[in-house]
Amino acid sequence: MAHRIDSFMTKSPIVVERTTSMARALRTMEEAGFRHLPVVDRAQGGHLIGCVSARELKIVENMRGVDSAMCIVGDFILGPPYTVAPDASLRDVARTMAEHKYGSAVVVDGDQVVGVFTTTDALRALAGVLEP
């Protein structure tokens, strides 16, 4: 029996709009205990356009002359996120993340973000699979 990604993902209905300030996105992540946050464009019907990590935003925030209250997360999305369906195979997702060095996969059901699967989730899954 294949392990499905939705059994191991962090359930995450929290997303931010592309126009959200970096400061607000970081606060949202801290409050929710997340390190990755899907970004949507409400002008495009809430379409997923990317994912930002706390690490990336903190690097930018610490750059000279950057005001995190004035910068928006949409300006720091490097490309489309790696997305998978809830019934995707844990093995396939983990293999793809490792091959491409992705830090996360956004789990989507149709156009709806239903979770995020991160390297931390992958390690928890590995520990669970290896338990006697």
Distance between start and end Cα atoms, the chain: 17
Residues whose CB is less than 8 angstroms from the CB of residue 96 and which lie 6 or more positions away in sequence, other chains included: 82, 102, 105
Provide the whole-model pTM: 0.86
- Judged against a pLDDT cut of 90, whether residue 2 lies above it is answered with no
DSSP assignment letter at 103 = S
Residue 41 φ/ψ, nearest 5 degrees:
-115, 100
Task: Determine the pLDDT at residue 92.
Answer: 95
Task: Determine the pLDDT at residue 107.
Answer: 96
User: Is 39 strand, coil or helix?
Assistant: strand
pLDDT digits (tens, 9 = 90+) for 11-69: 977 899 999 998 899 999 999 988 899 999 888 777 899 999 888 888 877 777 777 77
Task: Determine the pLDDT at residue 131.
Answer: 78
The mean predicted confidence, pLDDT, of the chain is 88
- Judged against a pLDDT cut of 70, whether residue 1 lies above it is answered with no
- Judged against a pLDDT cut of 60, whether residue 3 lies above it is answered with yes
Question: How many domains are there within the chain?
Answer: 1
Kindly state the average pLDDT of the residues 105-114.
91
d(CA 49, CA 38): 8
Domain at 34, CATH number: 3.10.580.10
Residue 130 φ/ψ, nearest 5 degrees:
-85, -15
Query: What is the span of the domain harbouring residue 97?
Result: 5-130
Q: What percent of the chain has pLDDT over 90?
A: 53
